[in-house]
Structure 1
Amino acid sequence: MMDPDDDVRTDLRVAIDDALGHKPGVEQVVTVRLPTTYGEFLAVGYLDRRSGIEQVALVHGDVVGETVLTRVHSECLTGDVFSSTHCECGDQLSAALRAIVAEGRGILVYLQGHEGRGIGLLAKLRAMKLQEGGLDTVEANIALGLPVDARDYGVAAEMLQDLGVRSVRLLSNNPRKREALLRYGIAVTEQVPLLMTPRAENIRYLRAKRERLDHDLPHLDGIPGLS
């Protein structure tokens, strides 16, 4: 089920920026070659002048002028760095980087400030503690008096526009990302599935994402208790 507050927050931000004549809030600060185990990227560092948060895009190949395979990835310390199996974030990050290199060109926008769908690291850990007691990921946030999903993708859109990208093939199972990018002026020609093999530790988490957050996860069909 979509949260109407997401649309209100996004529309309000766009309206205020337009009314005040604000320029994009991101400033490109540095570009540096970044060799990785997946392949070679350019790390393009940005500063969000509104929030003070530092952001980065990993660019592989020539991305200007055509529809570009793109992953907009929300930071997840537990999954991306510590390889937690509670979620699928680390697996998706790796799969996205491999897919971009295999494509020969593409972008991964890594969004800081999105930890725990925007509630922050400590709050996310508290929510995980409640999930140990039987709540799902949505119920845990609500029990803490926190938004189910507080993320905003305006900065990602501004970074893509700065890189010369106006149209993407979006690596995501989340329709809210697609809708948010469209609202911020990035055309999404295709939503490319990024389906990871479920684990025993994240079955309940994935079910909640599908049933309560509208994620498109058809690979869960046929798994006992999930179909």
Structure 2
Amino acid sequence: MTNTTPGSKLKVFLTLNGPPICPAMTDAEFRKLMMQLRDEGADLVKERLDRLAEWAPEERRRVWTWFGANDHEIRHSLITGLTATLAVMRSLAPGNFLRAHPDLDRSLGCLPTNKNVGTVAHVCGPDTETHTISIHEEFCTIRDRSRAATSKLSTIIHECTHFEDTFGAGDPKYGITRFLPEWGQSNPEMAIKNADSISAYVIWLD
């Protein structure tokens, strides 16, 4: 089933028919979980913005840990990008989370994703009108939340940083692990544009 937003050329594919997005839960349960994780993620982004505003030594160390720099430029980039990310996250509704499908990618203005097997979610970066997040079945198998690893919660933040009206982030380094800080410190110019570095900076519990 499709729905065309008035005044928009984008077709949003609504998965009202067919199997649930996640096999182990109903779509109603899935949507409820997405809204819970959206709220938790938004709270974590807001917390980082508050700490960036204070700019205490602890936050400077945290920024350096993930991005290999803690100067004015990177602080400004984080404040600007996270402020935009927070706005997008707060705007997300159940209809923003749709089952991944090549036709959905095309309708949003992107070529069908060529992501590898194991991809849990993806977005069309230029899709700043609908901020649709395409959900793969692998998304359903990862933990709901974690403060030290990839999860559904971190994935929502990760995907929001890909939109061109937030960070326009890419994926030069995948995976939230204890090894990611070392990579970021060695590659600061890439780390500030790496979706997992940004989401790890937000969710990690020191």
What is the TM-score with the length of structure 2 in the denominator? 0.26
Q: Which has the higher contact order (CA 8 A, sep 6+)?
A: 2
* Structure number having the greater strand percentage: 1
After TM superposition, the score normalised by the length of structure 1 is 0.24
